[in-house]
Amino acid sequence: MNAPILQRCSIDTATINPDRRARYWEDQCRDAMFSFRCSPHADEGLRARQTCLDIGPLRIALTCANEHVIERTPDLVRAFPRESMFVNLILTGEAFVYQRGHCAKMHAGEMLVYDARHPYLFGGARDFALLHIDIPAQLFQTQLARIDTTQPIHVAATHSTHLLYQRTLIRLLLNLLNGPERAEWPAAVLTQQVCDLLGSLLGPVEGRGAMSALSAGHLLAAKQYIEEHYADEGLDAEQIAVTVGVSARHLRRLFAAQELSVGDFVLACRLDHAHHMLTDPRERPGTVAEVAYRCGFASHAHFSRVFKQRFGLTPTEVPSTSRH
């Protein structure tokens, strides 16, 4: 597996003279992302930082800033064309996009999709943070074209399944931006994962079977759900499949393609969390039995047996061994 080394780029206005920050932000973002004009709307001047990287054909970024507006004017679009669709996921605060006579607002937990080939105005409120995905227009057309993009598209996840896919996408992007230097998967796989998760949020592609087309997204969402609910003693393939929006049979096939079973992944997740609780004094509860209970094990004896099979030590042996 040829997993790429992630080459991250960082921009921060903190050390720049307040009078020069907007121009600095324009210049640095033009080289790292795209060209625009920036207008700060805070007395302290622009306060902004960004981390970005390329994954295959995708460019992703995390931006945290105070209130300001950026504009891609018709002149800039002609001088610095960008054959891309933009996706913004708001983590905190509020923002808006104005394009082609339409204004779309978004709050924390919501998403906007808009066409970067046309002029637009973007504004962020005080102390906002967002994840940005730059997708080549051709790739978007092939993988995700199912909605009218002649105006900004506002997506607010409300159903539990959509919220799960949204959390999964956010976690994937933040892990790429803030995680280990070497990615877990090749760039082509990561690109497909991002597109599949976006596809799950935007809806099925006309003429394509959603179940088969979005396998990578379904698998990631299932793993995310397991990470969030490993302590549920009754967690099983049927419960996970209902939440993810696939059949239990299809879910088992997705895990089998990675030479795993759903039960094996749930068990591994529980054991990893149990090991963390036992080795970190800040996380450890009073007894080993309580650790087992908090990690979804109904039987203390079963927990001790599978823990030793995994780590070579019984749970009671871990503290003295791990802390010396």
One domain for residues 147 and 266: no
Specify the CATH number for the domain of residue 19.
2.60.120.10
- Considering only residues 179 and 94, tell me which one the structure prediction assigns the higher pLDDT: 94
Q: Is residue 137's pLDDT more than 70?
A: yes
Predicted TM-score (pTM) of this structure: 0.79
Residues 13 and 98 placed together within one structural domain of the fold: yes
Among candidate residues 163, 191, 216, the one where a domain is terminated: 163
Residue 136 shares a structural domain with residue 273: no
Structural domain of residue 139, as residue ranges? 9-163
CB distance 175 to 182 below 8 Å: no
Does 241 share its domain with 149? no
pLDDT at 102: 94
Any domain includes 180: no
- Taking alpha carbons only, the member of 54, 57, 245, 258 closest to residue 165 is 245
- Kindly report the CATH number assigned to the domain that includes residue 241: 1.10.10.60
Which of 123, 147, 163 is the endpoint of a domain? Answer: 163
In a shared domain, residues 38 and 152: yes
| Residue 207 located in a structural domain | no
Name the domain boundary from 113, 129, 163.
163
Q: Residue 196: its pLDDT value, please?
A: 87
pLDDT at 274: 92
Q: What is the DSSP string of 169-198?
A: HHHHHHHHHHS-SB-SS-HHHHHHHHHHHH
Measured torsion, CA atoms of residues 48, 121, 191, 261, in degrees rounded to the nearest 10? 80
Asked if residue 251 and residue 105 are part of one domain, the reply reads: no
Return the pLDDT at 324: 38
Statement to judge: residues 152 and 272 lie in one domain: no
For residues 18 and 146, state if they share a domain: yes
State mean pLDDT over 11-27: 95
Q: What's the confidence (pLDDT) of residue 4?
A: 66
Instruction: Average the pLDDT over 230-249 and give the result.
Output: 91
- Phi and psi dihedrals of 145, rounded to 5? -65, 105
